């Protein structure tokens, strides 16, 4: 089971999470979409594999639903050496802090021992490309490896 965790301010990360999870299911894997704020970070290592998706809010801040996940990780500091994850961020490159949200979250996960698989995917709102297509194109590059890593 691939867990697709999302943090959002306006709902776009949730849409990306739903699109990514549907693509995963359409290609024979199991996927569950979970809001980051509902994720028990103490059990995160037992997940085995997760996809984390978050936007960047305002001038580089974490979205309202990402912040509790990040803060719990920073406080509890679980050993995540058994966790593998992929990361996808949403932002707008007209801001100096473009992609800061996913960079902060993925950096903390790695700092806690988790292993990132592949490059961080990014949707740039300034480019005008459809979020769904960018998210699906990104996950399609990694699906064979994701399936092996989640098993």
Q: Is residue 88 part of a domain?
A: yes
- pLDDT-based confidence at 146, cuts 50/70/90? low
Of 17, 61, 56, nearest in space to 36 by CA: 17
Q: Is residue 89 part of a domain?
A: yes
Residue numbers of the domain that contains 60 = 2-145
Q: Is residue 19 part of a domain?
A: yes
What pLDDT was estimated at residue 99?
85
Dig out the tokens for 113 from the structure: 């021992």
* pLDDT tens track for 95-133: 888 889 999 999 999 999 999 998 999 999 889 889 999
**Cα separation of 8 and 15, whole Å?**
10
Dig out the tokens for 81 from the structure: 């050496």
Q: Is residue 86 part of a domain?
A: yes
* pLDDT tens track for 63-103: 999 999 999 999 999 999 999 999 999 988 888 888 899 99
What pLDDT was estimated at residue 143?
67
What pLDDT was estimated at residue 145?
65
User: Based on the structure, what is the number of domains in the chain?
Assistant: 1
Q: Is residue 151 part of a domain?
A: no
**Cα separation of 108 and 85, whole Å?**
12
Q: Is residue 150 part of a domain?
A: no
Q: Is residue 100 part of a domain?
A: yes
Helices (H), 58-130: 67-76, 100-111
Between the two ends of the chain, the Cα-to-Cα distance in Å is: 8
**Cα separation of 49 and 64, whole Å?**
24
| Confidence check: pLDDT of 7 > 70 | yes
How far is residue 120 from each of residues 28, 53, 70, 75, measured CA to CA in Å? 23, 10, 17, 24
* pLDDT tens track for 9-54: 889 999 999 999 999 999 888 999 999 999 999 999 898 899 999 9
> What CATH number is given to the structural domain containing 129?
3.40.50.360
Q: Is residue 130 part of a domain?
A: yes
**How many residues are recorded in the chain?**
151
> Residue 148 CB: number of other CB atoms within 10 A?
10
């Amino acid at each position: 089971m691939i867990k697709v965790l999302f943090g959002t301010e306006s709902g776009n990360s949730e849409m990306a999470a739903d699109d990514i999870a549907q693509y995963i299911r359409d290609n024979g894997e199991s996927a569950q979409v979970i809001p980051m704020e509902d994720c028990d970070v103490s059990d995160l290592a037992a997940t085995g594999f997760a996809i984390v998706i978050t936007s960047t809010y305002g001038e580089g801040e974490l979205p309202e639903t990402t912040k509790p996940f990040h803060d719990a990780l920073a406080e509890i500091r679980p050993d995540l050496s058994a966790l593998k994850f992929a990361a996808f961020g949403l932002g707008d490159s007209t801001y100096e802090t473009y992609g800061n949200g996913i960079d902060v979250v993925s950096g903390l996960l790695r700092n806690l021992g988790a292993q990132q698989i592949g490059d961080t995917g990014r949707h740039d709102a300034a480019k005008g490309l459809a979020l769904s297509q960018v998210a699906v194109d990104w996950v399609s590059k990694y699906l064979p490896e994701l399936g092996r890593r989640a098993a």
